[in-house]
Structures are given as C-alpha cells and as structure tokens.
Chains A and B, each alone.
Chain A
C-alpha cells in the first residue's frame, strides 16, 4: 500500500467534507476557465487581423461604430453613403475590390440582420485562406438570398424557402417583398453565420428603400460639395426616365416597381469594403496605399476609411483587456479562497487524526512519510477540484454559448481550449503544496508515544 492509496483512503473516510472542499475549488476553477475561454473567444472574435479587407469606407463618425456595424452587425448604421460614391471608388486605380454593403433591416423571424450586397462579397476570404462556401447557389438574382449557418439552424430555413424582412425604421413594418433562399453558407465562426445576405438590387427594390428624389439630391450635393444643378446634371438620364414613369397609374399593377432597376440616385450603401490592389513585386504597397487613401479621406468628403483592425485592437486593450484582468484576478481570488477552505478542512481533521498518524509511525512510517501522506491528500483534493473545474467550466461554456450567441450574435465555439488552462494543473499542485504544508508539518511533528496512548 503506497502513500497515495493511504491518502486516498483518508479522503474517502471524510468523503462529504472532502468532496465539498474539492467542489469549492472546482467552482473557482470553473469560473476561471469560463473567463479564460470567454476571453479567448472575445479576442478571437474581435481580432480582425485576418479580415480580407484593407479598409472599411463609411460615413464620418465613430470608427468603432462603423466596424461594429459593418463587420459584427451589432451596432446600428451611422448613416449612408450615396451609391455614386461607391461607383467612384470602384474606378479608383489603386483599389482592387470594393464591395457595397447595405444594412439596417432584419428578418421577421429570429431578428437576424439582413445585409444587401453583391456576390463579390463572397469572393473575398472571410479569414486568412478561408473561402465562403454555399450549399447550392450564390444570390445572383434580384430576389435571391443566401443565409448563414446559424440562421438556417435557428430559423429552420432551407434552400427554396422564402422570407420577408422587417424595416428597421420608425414604422417597423413588414415588407411585402419576398426573398428566396438559394444557398446556405457553411459555418465560418464569424458574424456571417448569423447574417441573411440578399442581393443588393432586391434590397433597393423593396418599397421604401429608395430614397425620395429631392432628399437624395440634397444629400449628394452636400456629400460631394456640389450644387443641386450639378447633381441633377450628373443623374440627368435617370431623372428623365423617372419623370416619364411618374405619370403612370400604379394601382393596376401593385409591384410594378419590381420590374425596373432602382436609379442610382435613390440608392445608398451603409459601407464599402475595400481591398487595395496588390503589387506582387512590392507587398507593402497595398498597405501604404490604404493608409494614404484613408488620410486623403480625412481631409475631404464626409466619408472615412478605417482599417478595421485598429479600432478593435483599441477596444480590446482599453476595455476588454481591463475587464479580463479584473475577472482573472477575481477568479484567482476565488481559487485562493477555496484553497483556504481545503486548508481549514485538512487542518481541522488533524487533531482527530493524530492518533492515526501515531499508529502509522509506530508501524514504522517516518516523519517524511506522514508529511507526504497529508500533502498528497491536499494535492488529490486540489487536483480533483481543478480537473472537475475544467470540465465544469467547459460545460458552462457549452451551456452558455448558444444563449450568448442568440443574445449578442457573437459565435462561441464551445470546444475552444485556452492554452492558459494547462497552467491550471501546475498552479493547483502549487496551491495544494501551499495548503497542505502546515497540516503536513503537524503530522510531521506529531508525538508518537503521546498520541498512541490517548
């Protein structure tokens, strides 16, 4: 019978007290794990190093809002940009890809954000080397849509289903127009999983999405610093056609406006995702062009170009980082407290165990042996608590991740493993050594003759 078995026996002898102390350690560790994993997930979610775009172009305002809205779809859009501006960007000789994005509506069922865009959106990797994949088709047609994997799962939607969208405006009314799902995206672990993508042309064609003409003219005039006449001249062809249509009686054919394209003047985008042109001979050129471009914008128009990585990094270091620090310290403190409870439990048992220790000494155990037995006990309790805590922590994450995803739209992989977790085992052994030392010393010092006779 080795010291480990002996230690295990005495733990089993005081099973209730032992398991309660181990449980208190487990709870502390579980909280720590939850914090660590939540932190890993949040860092991973907010780390845009791998995003396929160099810049997000949007209306002037908070950089963070622009990123949260465009990438995470959790903040309302700041404002919109004229579609004409998107067309200009497309022609910019330094810009490789420009993808328009229109946000603001959500699905009637499940309240998932609806994003109007072109199929170019899906051609850019959503993370380093990771391409979007659809189960069937891309939304090439005006009334076609692809949906994220979480949307499909939660709404129980499949290819061929149709849905309506709710306008985010004051009236909250449900649009009559229906989109047809032509594909379900493979899970990406990004906010795309919770997004419904619709063809941008269909998005504009929905009643109420086209901006009233005079308002659009005023907005463009202000945006580009032009006079109303200049704007009208730019859109002359479109305006002429619209006037021709105005005489029409729409009552006979309700959805006549579905059939013809919305004029550019009345279109707006929430943001434009930009990828600079790459130069294979000079890999840093795209980066510096991006910086140049966003510096230019800062002076001119009412638009801004944001490198999405930076505001998120600021958010992480300034806010999330500090919260994490507080939480980790808090859980460390909880673990320490549970360590103290193990100490109290073992220490209290020492007085009634002096006789057992004396018996073992009489049977020939030396002082180190009885010291080791007590220390082993403490290590078993701490380790059992630690391992139980790790399991419990992951269980907690597994339980909470769908809830969190539904509430915040942040996608959490419940199987994530933080390398920091590995340090928990040695830390628990260290704690056990600390906690078991004084009771071990009591055992070490136990007077054999005195305690044998009692």
Chain B
C-alpha cells in the first residue's frame, strides 16, 4: 500500500466570507508499510490532512491516491466504503460508542465493510491489545488507556492497509503513552500496515524512522 497526494489544496471558508487556505500540498508520499510521524504547529492543518486522506473531507483540487486508486474521483458512497475497508482511524478522544461494549465497538468497525462481521477476528484483535478479559465492558467501565486500546483494535477491524492516528496518546497518561504507541507500531508492523501518526511530542516523533514536519510540504505554511 502506498499513499500519494498530488497538488492537493483545501481552503476553508471563514465566517466573514474570505477563503482560509489550510492545505496546499504539491506532493506527498508514504510508502507501503512505512511508519511516519507528522508534526507541526497547532492549527497547521494536520487533522484536515488526515480527513482529506481518508476521504472524509473532499479537497478543493488535487488527487489522493491510495494503492493507485484515486479516491478523490470516487463517488462519496464508494469513498465511504473504501474508508471502511482500507483505512483505520485512531483519534485523540478515542471516539468509542458508549452504548456498545468493547467487543461490539470492534464489530461496529466491521459493519460498514463488505462481508460478514468476523467475530473471531474481533476477539483476536482485542486479545492482541491485551483486552481479552474486557470484551463485554462498556467504554465507561474501562480505563482511559483501555479505551484507547479498544479504539486501536477497532481501527484494525477490517485489516486496513493504512492507519491514520491523530494524537492517539495525547489523552493518555504518560505511563500508558509508551504502551499505546508501542502497541500501534508493533501491530502495524506485524500486519504490514502503513502508519501516519500525528503528534505534538518530540519524544514520540523521535522514535519514528521518518518524521515529517507539515510545513515542509504544505505551501500554505511556507508563505506565512
């Protein structure tokens, strides 16, 4: 799996009607199985970039290619399906559904992809993040670190080829940060999943082979 962006631009519209340029990326590439840390100042457009990559946000122009499929040209529903099947998401605030148990949250991750929910796989994923004994716990009954581990298991539910993580350790206490990070990186390596991880922490960034400062390839930030 490879990820490639070509001439991607994204402007937001400000309340006063002016355009607010956020992304202007002539070229960006992430190789198959590569793990990279994305760093950059707050408000620089990191979250926006992840949303553009996953197809949640449509760029104003340019191409996003995942495995040589130009997802920017797919109709929205197909992009959603693509996201369900190929892209995993881990958020800073976990975004688990409170009404669902740990196990059901993982199953939910499978609900929107083709094919039947693989319950054995869901269980296996939770075991691999060390939560085999917490299957029927609701998010509120789990510790913060455990919640993020459920989210990681869920992000891998459909065996994605790309994992996008937006500050996954920022809400977790320092002791757990290391475990979470290691978990993500090991699982991605094991399943040959490309990883793009947003972080504000230089220590975390330092652990990655490749660290990408956003201002290096986002021209919006270079003009300022």
Contacts and interface: CB of A to CB of B under 8 A. Distances in A.
Interface of A: 1-3, 6, 9-10, 12-13, 355-356, 359-369, 448-449, 452-453
A369 B26 CA distance: 34
Given A10-B99, A449-B57, A364 B108 contact: no
Given A6-B111, A360-B108, A368 B51 contact: no
B113 A449 contact: no
Contacts of B76: 366-367
Given A362-B56, A362-B89, A1 B108 contact: yes
Contacts of A367: 76-77, 80
Given A449-B56, A449-B57, A364 B99 contact: no
Contact of B56 (A2, A361, A368): A361
Contacts of A360: 97, 108, 112
A365 B84 contact: yes
The residue in B84, B96, B110, B158 that gathers the most chain A C-beta atoms within 10 A of its C-beta is B84
A1 B110 contact: yes
Contact of B54 (A356, A362, A366, A369): A362
Given A359-B95, A363-B84, 20 more contacts: A1-B110, A10-B99, A361-B80, A362-B89, A363-B108, A363-B154, A364-B84, A364-B85, A365-B80, A365-B84, A365-B112, A366-B77, A366-B112, A367-B76, A367-B80, A368-B77, A448-B57, A449-B47, A449-B48, A453-B47
A1 B104 contact: yes
Contacts of A364: 80-85, 87, 112-113, 158
B117 interface: yes
Contacts of B97: 9, 356, 359-360
A362 to B, nearest CB: 5
Interface residues of B, number: 34
Contacts of B87: 364
A1 B98 CA distance: 16
29 contacts: A1-B108, A1-B110, A2-B111, A3-B111, A9-B97, A9-B99, A9-B100, A10-B99, A12-B99, A13-B98, A13-B99, A359-B95, A360-B97, A360-B108, A361-B80, A362-B89, A365-B112, A366-B77, A366-B80, A367-B76, A367-B80, A368-B77, A369-B112, A448-B51, A449-B47, A449-B51, A449-B56, A449-B57, A452-B56
Contacts of B80: 361, 364-367
Contacts of A453: 47
Contacts of A10: 99
The residue in B89, B109, B111, B154 that gathers the most chain A C-beta atoms within 10 A of its C-beta is B111
A448 B47 CA distance: 12
B107 interface: yes
B23 to A, nearest CB: 13
Contacts of B89: 362-363
Chain A interface SS verdict (over half): helix
A365 B111 contact: yes
Interface string B6-44: 000000000000000000000000000000000000000
Q: Which 9 A-B pairs have the closest CB atoms?
A: A364-B84, A13-B99, A364-B112, A366-B80, A366-B77, A365-B112, A1-B111, A1-B107, A364-B83
Contacts of B111: 1-3, 6, 363, 365
A375 B179 CA distance: 41
B104 A452 contact: no
B61 to A, nearest CB: 18
A359 B99 CA distance: 13
Contacts of B83: 362-364
B48 to A, nearest CB: 8
B118 to A, nearest CB: 12
Contacts of B108: 1, 6, 360, 363
Nearest to B56: A448
Contact of A362 (B48, B95, B107): B95
A365 B77 CA distance: 8
B77 to A, nearest CB: 4
B99 A363 contact: no
A390 B113 CA distance: 38
Nearest to B96: A359
Contacts of A361: 56, 80
Contacts of B47: 449, 453
Nearest to B100: A9
Interface string B59-86: 0000000000000000011001111110
Nearest to A14: B99
Nearest to B78: A366
A2 B95 CA distance: 20
A92 to B, nearest CB: 81
Contacts of A13: 98-99
A363 B85 CA distance: 9
A6 B104 CA distance: 10
Contacts of B158: 364
Contacts of A3: 111
Contacts of B81: 364, 366
A9 B91 CA distance: 23
Contact of A1 (B56, B95, B117): B117
The residue in B48, B81, B87, B95 that gathers the most chain A C-beta atoms within 10 A of its C-beta is B95
